[in-house]
Structure 1
Amino acid sequence: MLARLNSDHKHITILLNVLKVKYRKLAEGEAVNFNLIRDVVEYMQSYAEHSHHPLEDIIYNYYLEKVSQEDSPNKLAEEHHQLIDASASLMSTLNLILSDVVVSREQLVVDLKEYVALQERHMQYEDNTIFPLLAQEMDEQDWGKVQELCSLKLIDDPLFSDNDNVLFEELRDYIKDDEIF
């Protein structure tokens, strides 16, 4: 399960790098494909926020119960809620742009940079703090129980799996063409 979460982080990093390229181009006054940017945010909403983060929450809550700290503040869950809000706000702005509503280019650059930074800080926290705790404290039996608890949230990654899902086809093609993959 931890390997899957680490793999998801690698995939999310690829997409955050796409957003970095796009906000840099925007900052330089170049044209960008807003549909592609929206696809990245939509992926974050549909996969990261509905499968990846809930898996992390289930696993971390199990860990907190195991070490008898279920009453402690849950920074991980708080960050997941912040990410949901940030994605929703960014998606709203992108939908305005795609509906031909004028939005400040400078503000969009700032919003994209802040979104990427928030995502990166969050993954750094998990990679450097949460995941090592889980690896250290949980044994095979724990991971078996967690697997059962997570079964309802386990879905195939709609972008980075080998299925025939066409939902993010343009984004998949972009990543392959730019050899980011």
Structure 2
Amino acid sequence: MMDKMILKRLMNDHKNIAILLDVLAKKNHKLSEGEAVNFALIRDVVEYMQVYAEHSHHPLEDITYDYFVKKFSSPCNQQLHEEHSSLAESSGALMYSLNLILSDVVISREKLISDLKAYVEMQKAHMQYEESELFPLFAKQLETDDWDKIKLQCEQRLVDDPLFSDTGDNIFEDLKEHIEAG
């Protein structure tokens, strides 16, 4: 019996994502102050969000939410799915801009600052919505056998976190070192 393992994982992912959003916010502040920043590090954070959050974390939330709606015949609020879609679009646009910068293409500093700020704010608001409205609902109303069924549905999306787990992956090594250095 897995009893809420998925929910614990989602909440832990949020703690990790909050660390990364803090890194982005600090880098964005430096950018807005005219200071030099490591654009590759910023790109690594956005890439992590695309590789892990958008392809594993968000689908687990979607599966859990859809299961909940179906089980309790709740009216389906599209907010979760719409926010996941908006976040994916935003990270894609950011990744495009960052790759241009890293290829020595000049882009508007103000636009990058604005886009980065909007992305961080959107991510934080999204996690706040989930943590204040959805996760408590799941915790209160879903039972062990529900979580077992959800886990079965999630198995294809359950991947090791490439940054915050000890998988031996070196994909985000620079980012990992930056976080550990504080």
* Stretch moving more, 14-23 or 97-106: 97-106
Which amino acid in 2 is paired with 1:2? L
After the TM superposition, which residues 57-136 of structure 1 pair with which residues of structure 2 at under 5 Å, given as runs? Answer: 57-69=62-74, 72-136=76-140
Is there any run of 5+ residues in structure 2 with no aligned partner, and where?
Answer: 1-5
Shift of 1:74: 2.0
Structure 2 counterpart of 1:157? 161
Identity %: 56
- CA distances 1:10-45 after superposition (whole Å, capped 9, x unpaired): 000000000011000001110000000000000000
Structure 1: how far apart are the matches of 2:17 and 2:76? 28
C-alpha RMSD of the superposition: 0.8
Residue 72 of structure 1 deviates from its aligned partner by 2.6
1:22 lines up with 2:27 in the alignment = yes
- 1:170 match: 174
Deviation track 1:65-92 (CA, whole Å, cap 9, x = no partner) reads 01113x6332111110010000001101
Instruction: Find the aligned partners of 2:148 and 2:36 in 1 and give their Cα distance.
Output: 49
Equivalent position amino acid for 2:81 in 1: A
Q: Secondary structure at the match of 2:162?
A: coil
Partner of 2:3: none
**Counterpart among 129, 148, 151 of residue 147 in structure 1:** 151
Aligned residues: 177
* Distance in structure 2 (CA, Å) of the matches to 1:121 and 1:154: 24
TM-score (norm 2): 0.95
Counterpart-to-counterpart distance in 2, 1:3 and 1:72: 23
Q: 1:6 aligns with which of 11, 17, 20?
A: 11
* Unaligned ranges ≥5, structure 1: none
Aligned pair 1:54/2:46, yes or no?
A: no
2:101 corresponds to which letter in structure 1?
I
